[in-house]
Amino acid sequence: LGKDSVEKINELYEAGFRGLKVINPTKNYDDKEFYPYYAQAEKHDMPILFHTGMVKRTAKDKFHDISSERMRPIYLDTIARAFPRLTLIGAHLGGPWFREAANVLRYNPNVYFDITGSIPGWIRKTPQFFRNYFWWEGAWEKIVFGSDVHFSQIEKVIANYRGVLEALRLDKTTQNKIFGETAMQILNMKIN
């Protein structure tokens, strides 16, 4: 955001893309300068995956204006209210701003979060950690699976996440939603 033109969304849509991902914006995600981007995505029914939370440091950081603060989950609340037909997905459960992410998720029907993250990090968290944030009925139905790992590692990652979800005593129906059914619904794909 703030680097490509709004027309880029039309180009991507015409090329067959059905969703967008944004990371490292030049301003806070809810800055009104970005509203034309959100309006265009809403027009094309293209969900947007927002990197939320901290961003990993790289050697190239010194050449870019990068701030994790601009990617806080609370900014999705403003966007969700202004664009109620736009589906927003926050990545990484907004970590370290989990409470902020949970509240944005709870109060906005068009907001979802994914559980992309460090498996060792999630495994160290107790079931009570997750219950503290995602305690209301239907909370887990707004969580989707995601991963930053290479495809060759995906089966291991899924098994590890299943362990976390089973420790939370989430039933298979809810786990199936997390591992694909909710994402398919977001993307208007048929579930067999």
* Proportion of the chain above pLDDT 70, given as a percent: 95
Q: What is the pTM of this model?
A: 0.92
Report all structural domains of the chain as residue ranges with CATH numbers, in order of start: 7-186 (3.20.20.140)
Token pair 């034309």 is found at 36
pLDDT for the residue 128: 84
Residues 6+ apart with CB under 8 A from 175: 162, 165, 166
> Is the pLDDT confidence value at 79 over 70?
yes
Q: Is residue 171 packed enough to be buried (19+ CB in 10 Å), middle (13-18) or exposed (0-12)?
A: exposed
Backbone φ, ψ for residue 20 (5° rounding): -130, 155
Distance CA 97, CA 75 (A): 12
7-14 and 35-43 helices cross at what angle (nearest 10)?
A: 20
- pLDDT interval class at 50 (50, 70, 90): very high
- Least confident residue range of 20-24, 58-62, 131-135, 168-172: 58-62
Distance CA 115, CA 113 (A): 7
Nearest-angstrom CA–CA distance, 174 and 165: 9
The C-alpha R_g of the chain, in whole angstroms, comes to 17
Q: What is residue 148's predicted lDDT score, i.e. its pLDDT? A: 85
Q: Taking the CB of residue 153, how many other CB atoms lie within 10 A of it?
A: 13
Q: Are 6 and 41 in contact (CB under 8 A)?
A: no
